Amino acid sequence: MKLIKKILVITTICAFTASAFAQSQTVQKKDTKSKESETSVESEYLNDIDSEIIMSLANSDEYDNKLVALQYLQNAIEDGNTSAGVIQALDKLAGEGVTSESRTRGRLINNFPDIRRQACLLLAKVPTEHTKNTLVSIVMGDAEPMVVAAAVRSLGDIGINNNDEVVEAIAFANRRNEVLNPTSALAFEVLNSFEVLYDKTENKKTMLDAIARIAVDYNYVTPVRQKAYKLLKTMSDSGSSSKKSSSKSKSQDEVTEVE
């Protein structure tokens, strides 16, 4: 009887301990979820506050305020804040004086090419279809070579080229550049982006024609022309290798069919 009583007591203690442990684990999980929820809400709130501050600065007509907005944007992106407000501010600053104009007595007062340039470079850090489209519109619409160069560079960094729209936009910018104001810095960025996008384009002729024009245009500095020559050779060799590989594959298929 004593042995049975001892067993019952031990069993009761074990059951109580297990129940207490389970309750403790449940409380801990609830606390953890509560903390995660609070952190998420706090993060979203801070992101909203950041977005409001940034948009307020970006919408200002003051040049210095726009510089501060760019700094806020860079910090926000580095902290992982790529909210709609942040993207909206980048779009605004990238088109400052071009897609969004502010005039006083007919005079354009917000034509800040360096602001647009920095915003275009920041857009590359948020690689989406939307930011790609924004950059394409800048490449097509902006006449300032340093802004277009930054947009072209960012398009290469993003690497999206649906239906060759990016390659065609860059080729257009290159033609306009060589006719109106041949700028080596822009030509250099065109070459860099084409190098990245080569394997992602079906319209290789447009790309090769643009590179060839850079290679023989003595308005560009020698290093840029040399880079164009090297890129043409690399692409030509790559194309030849691809054709040989395709030819071998077809020959093997034909042999297999005959057998």
Which residue, 138, 143, 46, 139, is CA-closest to 93?
A: 138
Average pLDDT over residues 103-123: 86
**Rounded to an integer, what distance in angstroms lies between the CA atom of residue 73 and that of residue 50?**
9
Q: Is the four-CA dihedral 37, 40, 43, 45 of positive or negative sign?
A: negative
Q: What is the pLDDT of residues 196-238, one digit of tens each?
A: 998 888 888 889 999 999 999 999 999 999 999 999 988 877 6
Of residues 108 and 180, which shows the higher confidence score? 180
**Rounded to an integer, what distance in angstroms lies between the CA atom of residue 223 and that of residue 153?**
18
Distances (CA, A) of 152 to 16, 71, 100, 167, 190: 69, 22, 20, 10, 6
Q: What is the pLDDT of residues 22-52, one digit of tens each?
A: 555 554 555 544 444 444 544 454 456 667 7
- The predicted pLDDT at position 202 comes to 84
- Inform me whether the pLDDT recorded for 191 exceeds 80: yes
Q: For residue 160, what are its two tokens?
A: 């999206």
Average pLDDT over residues 14-21: 51
- The predicted pLDDT at position 49 comes to 64
Cβ-proximal residues to 200 (8 Å cutoff; 6+ apart), any chain: 159, 161
Element (H, E) at 205: helix 204-216
Q: According to the 3-state scheme, what is the secondary structure of 6-48?
A: HHHHHHHHHHHHHHHHHHHHHHHHHHHHHHHHHHHHHHHHHHH
Q: What is the pLDDT of residues 85-98, one digit of tens each?
A: 889 999 999 988 77
**Rounded to an integer, what distance in angstroms lies between the CA atom of residue 129 and that of residue 136?**
11
Confidence of residue 102 (pLDDT cuts 50, 70, 90): confident
Identify whether the C-beta of residue 110 lies closer than 8 Å to the C-beta of residue 139.
no
- The predicted pLDDT at position 106 comes to 73
- Distance from the Cα of residue 96 to its chain's centroid: 19
pTM exceeding the 0.85 threshold for the entire prediction = no
Cβ-proximal residues to 194 (8 Å cutoff; 6+ apart), any chain: 156, 167, 170, 207, 210, 211, 231
- The predicted pLDDT at position 135 comes to 95
Which value, in Å, is the radius of gyration of the alpha carbons in the chain?
30
**Rounded to an integer, what distance in angstroms lies between the CA atom of residue 228 and that of residue 212?**
7
- The predicted pLDDT at position 109 comes to 76
Q: What is the pLDDT of residues 236-249, one digit of tens each?
A: 776 555 555 544 55
